[in-house]
Chain A
């Protein structure tokens, strides 16, 4: 019970805040509750297949395979592979964090992991099709091209400015965050 309260303390505080809001300004309060609820439904509808695919990837793809395709020596092909993984995805960026952590734990290079995160954020193909219908092809393609240059530079910068010690810290952190639920530790920060 205490562990539950500790793990969910931020969530519970916000619930309390929403309740206060409902009492003080009922209109705003109910809007906040219904917005959160809508997002919850949206997220619950996206998340199950992602986590199932992650679980399957975890047991079927060995560290060696991952290192071969996305590891340090994977070169241009590894970068293309990271790009495709990000482009053929769906969901908000925060859904990509656990996947990126899994890739890191399996030995993917920092450049490839950040390229994957970048592609996921700015170049999801399904979302871009919708963007074209709303903002036009010219805007969408310009934005895509310019952002693509940006995310490649960012991935490069993230990999280059992380020395070995820092890289190890990032990997450890990703591994720790990923396995936290498995070792009955009490959750730390959200």
Chain B
């Protein structure tokens, strides 16, 4: 749904831009293509990694590791799975809901969701290309720490 809004937005701005200045619009499209093309090798590599991860870490396996009463170990696993995998939200939320009803802890699930959103081990090479290795590493470490603290608080509060 939101993708359609994004397309509509891009189309509207593109049309507006075209009416105002054709040359600038052509330049914009050239730039769009070039920035896409320059990042394409990294994107394709990440997609290949996603394929392998989804193959060897399937839903059933994640369920088993994160199951009920997993305690600290479960937290570690939640953080690791969330940080390493790149599951899209439309898959992750139903999975998280299923895990919760199967008896998983709220803190573990919150940690899994938070790290999934904020920490990206597989995409770190891509991030490093844009901001440098040290910065990418720092952002991911800080995000992991923030996810840990906020999940433990959420586990207490809920």
Using a CB–CB distance below 8 Å, which chain A residues touch chain B?
Answer: 7-8, 10-11, 14-15, 17-18, 28, 31-37, 39-40, 42-43, 45-56, 58-60, 90, 92-94, 97-98, 100-102, 114, 117-118, 121-122, 124, 126-127, 130-131, 134-135, 138-139, 142-143, 146-147, 149-151, 153-154, 157-158, 161-162, 166, 169-170, 173-174, 177-182, 187-190
Contact = CB atoms under 8 A, between A and B. Distances in A.
A56 B17 contact: yes
B143 A53 contact: no
Nearest to B89: A127
Interface string B28-55: 1111111111110111111111111011
A134 B118 contact: no
Interface string B140-151: 001100110111
A181 B140 CA distance: 26
B50 to A, nearest CB: 5
Contacts of A93: 117-118, 120, 123
B3 A46 contact: yes
A96 to B, nearest CB: 10
Contacts of B135: 158, 162, 166, 170, 173
30 contacts: A14-B45, A14-B49, A18-B51, A47-B36, A49-B7, A50-B10, A52-B32, A55-B28, A55-B35, A56-B28, A59-B24, A59-B31, A97-B123, A98-B35, A100-B131, A118-B118, A130-B89, A135-B100, A142-B110, A142-B157, A143-B114, A147-B118, A149-B150, A150-B147, A150-B149, A150-B150, A154-B139, A154-B142, A174-B131, A178-B130
Given A55-B28, A150-B150, 14 more contacts: A35-B51, A46-B6, A56-B14, A94-B120, A97-B127, A98-B35, A121-B143, A126-B1, A138-B158, A154-B143, A157-B142, A158-B139, A173-B132, A177-B130
Contacts of A174: 130-131
Interface in B91-114: 93-94, 96-97, 100, 106, 109-110, 113-114
Given A52-B14, A98-B39, A28 B9 contact: no
A111 to B, nearest CB: 13
Contact of B55 (A7, A28, A134): A28
Which 9 pairs between the two chains have the least Cβ-Cβ distance? A181-B38, A36-B51, A55-B32, A150-B146, A14-B48, A146-B150, A49-B10, A55-B28, A126-B2
Nearest to B152: A146
B126 interface: yes
Interface residues of B, number: 83
A39 B87 CA distance: 10
Contacts of A170: 131-132, 135
Given A158-B135, A158-B138, A173-B131, A43 B24 contact: no
B150 A143 contact: yes
Nearest to B23: A59
A53 B81 CA distance: 33
A39 B130 CA distance: 22
B41 A42 contact: no
A54 B17 contact: no
B125 interface: yes
B64 interface: no
